[in-house]
Amino acid sequence: MSPFSLAAAAVAVAFVYYICPARLQWIVLLAASCLLYAQNGAQPLAFLLLTAASTWAASLLIHRIGRRAAQAAHTGGAPLPREEKKRLKARARRRQRAVFFAVLLLNFGILALLKYAHAGTEQTLLRLLGAVGSGGGFRLLVPLGISFYTFQSMGYLIDVYNGKYPPERNPARFLLFVSFFPQMVQGPIGRYDHLAPQLTAPHRPDLKNIRYGLILMLWGFFKKKVIADRALEFVQAVFSDHTPYGGAVIAVSVLLYSLQQYCDFSGGIDLVTGAAEVLGIHLAPNFKRPYFSVSLGDFWRRWHISLGAWMRDYVFYPFALTRPMRLLSKALKKTAGAEIARAMPAALGNILVFLLVGVWHGASMNYVLWGLYNGVILAVSALMEPAYKRFGETHAALVKSRGFHILRVLRTFLIVNIGWYFDRCADFRDALAMLGKTVFSPRLWQLTDGTLFSLGLTLKGFSLLGASAALLFAVSLAQERGIRVRPWLDSLRLPARWALLYGLILVSILFSVSGSGFSSGFIYAMF
């Protein structure tokens, strides 16, 4: 779904949503979500419905098994012996666990098959299943936003399994939670207890919500179409074949990729969040000015926040609290001291989480190395945290100074951009080669001999990109200092407010990248 089609769909759905009776509003959202998703084809819709149906049914079954076990333990005249209660509870938990893992494996298996299967493997599997003949003619399509609705559904299943809340009994309401159309573009990954009540609650038109939502959508459109799509051609030209270019041009391409990826992803999230706000629904935040981070851990708490929170709650903490980790911590306490004993489960948990995040990006070695790169740095940071704390206590004035803060931001920015080499390259050998050129073979003359302007960006294009990035930086800096931009706009006099808004509209229209038009999609739409 392109930025323009998402905005048009949001406005059209909002019109119908607010004129229909309040009790039917959630049905309008469900119908719109399914119709919009069905435009991608019957096959992606079938996979979405399979995930929703299996998760909904499994959550009810898990809840029913637990309730029946509780009833059995309290039926009859005399209370059951303690051992009998424990036996009933253990048997019920085994049955719940079997259902739970079966549905987890089903849905993550579908995700793995659709995202990671090579064409030959995929065709072979389909032939074995009888879905395709020897001549081919059928191919599995990756559904729009499959990772996001899978993670969202499995998070719900885990919460029900752990007894956080009872399951949703209405399958249509649960399907709306899974398929809410703005989220299907690229998240964020919602939590049931935060999102579902908003989706089914009636909403009256609120001019402030509508205005704020439209402003956020405009800002997202600007970031996507004026900045991200403008930088895209240069980035693609260098990363598709880096051999003619020295390290200086490669470094520029990595910096532009850093800008392009951020504006594409966060711009899409702004569009999604704004579209939901127009409907009176507030999604979880997904970005918080990550390039102002003072450490790699801080960066990942600000970038793709909903995925990081999902990994923290459903992978990191369960792993760190497992029996092997507790035994390891206990053993290390005797040999390496209490500080290392406390930090080691967190260090190993970070490596596991980012290995999974790397594989989520793609099942190739460059993504694995990118995940390990981030995970190992975070693991070392966890182990070094006591030393950092002592340094901060000893040099408190230095640590609190503005210069030291800026130094930490620049250091983090460098660490993140080194990681982008592995994230963007198609092959890890290319990533190593490009990184080596950046350090040992810069070829600085390519910055001035015309090479820089032969890769899709003219001097005018670089000027527009620089001015747009400066505006983005100014707005982000204001937000980092605690200024809430949309309330600040409300505080301005009407002529000044409309001058700024109409100016942004005009810039977004005039300088939107025409080569990709309104049809260009988002980086993470097919994740």
* pLDDT tens column, 250-261: 999 999 999 999
- For residue 241, count CB atoms less than 10 angstroms from its CB and return exposed for 0-12, middle for 13-18, buried for 19 or more: exposed
pLDDT score, position 382: 92
List, as own/partner pairs, every contact residues 26-31 make where C-beta atoms lie below 8 angstroms and the sequence separation is at least 24, other chains included. 26/173, 26/176, 26/199, 26/200, 27/172, 29/176, 29/180, 29/181, 29/199, 29/279, 30/172, 30/175, 30/176, 30/179
| Tens digits of residue pLDDT in 24-35 | 999 999 999 999
pLDDT tens-digit series, residues 404-447? 999 999 999 999 999 999 999 888 889 999 999 999 999 999 99
Q: What is the pTM of this model?
A: 0.91
- The sign of the CA dihedral 317, 318, 320, 326 is positive
Residue 469 vs residues 257, 259, 472, 513: alpha-carbon distances, Å: 13, 8, 5, 15
Structure-token pair, residue 404: 């030291």
- By CB atoms closer than 10 A (0-12, 13-18, 19+), residue 438 is buried
Query: Which of 139-143, 276-280, 395-399 comes out lowest in average pLDDT?
Result: 139-143
Using a pLDDT cut of 70, give the percent of the chain over it: 92
For residue 126, name the pLDDT band (cuts at 50, 70, 90).
Answer: very low
Q: Which amino acid appears at position 143 of this protein?
A: P
Average pLDDT over residues 363-381: 90
Give the residue with greater pLDDT, 416 vs 522. 416
DSSP, res 445? G
Q: How far apart are CA 429 and CA 436, in angstroms?
A: 10
Q: Residues 44-72: what's their mean pLDDT?
A: 92
What is the band of 123 on the pLDDT scale with cuts at 50, 70, 90?
very low
Rounded Cα–Cα distance for residues 235 and 255 (Å): 9
Condensed to tens digits (0 to 9), the pLDDT of residues 382-396 reads 999 888 888 888 888
Pick the closest to residue 233 from 524, 515, 447 (CA basis). 515
pLDDT band per the 50, 70, 90 thresholds, residue 132: very low
pLDDT interval class at 242 (50, 70, 90): very high
Amino acid of residue 212: Y
pLDDT above 90 (res 49)? yes
Neighbours of 405 (CB within 10 A): 13
Q: What is d(CA 54, CA 175) in angstroms, rounded to the nearest whole number? A: 11
Q: Is the pLDDT of residue 519 over 50?
A: no
How much is the pLDDT for 77? 56
Query: What's the pLDDT score for residue 257?
Result: 97
> What per-residue confidence (pLDDT) applies to 517?
39
DSSP tag of 525: T
3-state secondary structure (DSSP) of residue 303: strand
248 falls in which pLDDT band (50, 70, 90)? very high
User: What are 167-205's pLDDT values in tens digits?
Assistant: 999 999 999 999 999 998 888 999 999 999 999 999 999
Q: Do the Cβ atoms of 270 and 223 come closer than 8 Å?
A: yes
In this structure, are residues 158 and 196 in contact, taking their beta carbons and an 8 Å threshold?
no
- State the residue for tokens 């399907």: 175
C-alpha span between 326 and 263 (Å, rounded): 41
Residue with token string 């398929």 = 179
Burial class (CB in 10 A: 0-12, 13-18, 19+), 298: middle
Residue 76: predicted pLDDT: 58
Helix (H, G, I), strand (E, B) or coil at 282: coil
Q: pLDDT band at residue 527, thresholds of 50, 70 and 90?
A: low
Residues with Cβ within 8 Å of residue 61, at least 6 apart in sequence: 99
194 C-beta neighbours (distance < 10 Å), count: 11
Least confident range of 81-90, 112-121, 211-220, 428-437: 112-121
Q: Residue 391: how many CB atoms within 10 A of its CB?
A: 13
Examine the pLDDT at 520 and tell me if it is beyond 60: no
Q: For residue 141, what pLDDT band results from cuts at 50, 70 and 90?
A: low
Our CA angle for 438, 376, 262, nearest 5°, is 55
State the CB neighbour count (10 A cutoff) for residue 447. 15
Ramachandran class of 52: left when φ > 0, alpha when ψ lies in -120 to 50, beta otherwise: alpha
> Which residues lie closer than 8 Å to 317 by C-beta, 6 or more apart?
349
The set of residues, in sequence order, having a beta carbon less than 8 Å from that of 192 and lying 6+ positions away, is 155, 156, 159, 165, 168, 177
| In the predicted structure, residue 138 carries a pLDDT above the cut 60 | no
Q: Which two tokens stand for residue 332?
A: 């290390």
pLDDT digits 0-9 by tens, 469-480: 999 999 999 999
Structure confidence at residue 515 as a pLDDT band (50, 70, 90) = low
